[in-house]
Structures are given as structure tokens and as C-alpha cells.
Structure 1
């Protein structure tokens, strides 16, 4: 079964805050993809590139000013909304 054919229903239950199986193939696929983004963000040394990666990972509003010290950890990222001015300190973990 290709990733395009995976059933999203368990993932949608998770997003809705309902019980779900973390071992679901689609949920695992999304977790791996987002985990790679977090690793890439933490490895980036250039501040401007890191900001671009952070905005791709999180749901940052266009006018949001975000300061961040590495490392940063989250489960998925797209469930985190950043509005206004935010500073994220070293070792911050957000469970989303």
C-alpha cells in the first residue's frame, strides 16, 4: 500500500483529540516526516535558514516574530500555532 493510499481516519481522530492508535501506519508516516523536520531544524547553524525551517514545521502566523535556542523538540509541529512575538528557550519540548 502506497503512502497515498494509507487510511487517514486514525490520524483525523488523533487531531480531533479522540483516542487513536499511535502504531497506525499513517500516523507513523506523519511522525517520521515531522521527526526528520525537527532533526533538520536542530542541525541547522544559520539563523535565517533555521527560521525558515521553524516556520515550515510550526503553524507560524506571517507577522509572528520567533526567537529560538536549540535544541527544540515536538511531536508533530503543525498543531502548534505561533502568534505575535515568542521566544522559545533551550531544550523546549512541546507535546502536540
Structure 2
């Protein structure tokens, strides 16, 4: 099994593998080009996103700067908006539903490391997917941790650290993020 296959399968993998390094380098070249494109140059930006992202439907608006690890693990439904300075560490799948809005400085992390220091310092890491449902808004500075699913029609308050799943139709906030009330 290749390191890429292990990464996608959620197994311990070596991120320093030459294939993975090459894929990250390819993504970096594309997001550097994307970030350098003019604000009004929608044609160029869309063409770059088609090369960078796994797939997306219809309207997508990602404000520069934007950063990701691989790009190919990111999929989006209709009408995705990411404000300035969003980061998606997509070592595992990151799935956005329809009508998802990310405020500035939102960070989604699929990568994580062993908690035992002796294992961690050897270098290999894990990744777990993140799923964001339909009609979700992530407020400014939200951090979403590996393996989290956020349900449809949910709002996550600014500055929240989402460490576990959040159900549909709620307002959730805090560090760690918790449900405040139903919507």
C-alpha cells in the first residue's frame, strides 16, 4: 500500500514520502498562482480551482489568500464562500455541502499526530475526514479538528474550536465548541 493510499485510508502514513511531497508542491504552486490572480479575474481563478480542488459545483468564491495541503481531497457543493486567509489541511477528505460560508481565518485540520511522544517523533501521522453540511456558517477564526462532522443549517460562532461532531440546526460556540441553542 502506498503512503498516499494509507493517508486516504486513515492509517499511519509518512508525509515525507516523495509522492506526497510532489502532490503538496503541485498544490502550493497552484494556490500561489490563485492567490496572485487579480480579484476580478474570475476566469483564471476558476480554471486554477478546477486543477486544484477535487471537485465543486456551480458558484465558488474563495478570497485570497487561501492555503491547502493537497487540494484534491476538497469537494464542495453549490455556493461555497471562503473569506480571507482560510486554511484547509486536506490530508483526508474535506467535504462542503451547499451554501457553506467561512468567515476570515477559518482553519480545517484533517491531519493529526500520535499523542505518545516516542511515536510522534518518528514522523508518521494520521488524517481523518471533515464534513460540513448544507447551509453552514463558520464564524471568524473557527478551527475544525480532524474527524469532525457539522450538521446542516448550523452556525459555529467566531473563535470556536470544534473538537467533536456538531448536530444539525444549532448554534454552537466556544472552546471547546458546544451547542448553545437550537435554531
Question: Shorter chain as normaliser: what TM range?
Answer: 0.7 to 0.9
Higher Rg: 2
* TM-score (structure 1 length as normaliser): 0.83
Tell me how far apart the structure 1 counterparts of residues 46 and 31 of structure 2 sit (CA, whole Å): 12
User: Which range moved further: 46-55 or 69-78?
Assistant: 46-55
- Which residue of structure 2 aligns with residue 81 of structure 1? 75
Q: Say which of 50, 56, 81 aligns to 2:51.
A: 56
Instruction: List, as ranges, runs of 4+ consecutive aligned residues in structure 1 with deviation greater than 4 Å.
Output: none
The structure in which a higher percent of residues are strand is 2
* TM-score (structure 2 length as normaliser): 0.45
Q: How far does residue 47 in structure 1 lie from its aligned partner after superposition?
A: 2.1
Q: How far does residue 59 in structure 1 lie from its aligned partner after superposition?
A: 2.1
- CA deviation map 1:25-84 (0-9, x unaligned): 1111111111111111111112221111112211233x4210121100111111010111
Where do 5+ consecutive residues of structure 2 fail to align?
A: 91-183
The structure in which a higher percent of residues are helix is 1
Q: How many residues align?
A: 88
Could you say which structure has the greater relative contact order, defined with CA pairs below 8 angstroms and 6 or more residues apart? 1
Tell me how far apart the structure 2 counterparts of residues 28 and 68 of structure 1 sit (CA, whole Å): 24
Residue 13 of structure 2 aligns to a residue whose secondary structure is coil
Q: How far does residue 13 in structure 1 lie from its aligned partner after superposition?
A: 0.7
- Which residue of structure 1 aligns with residue 176 of structure 2? none
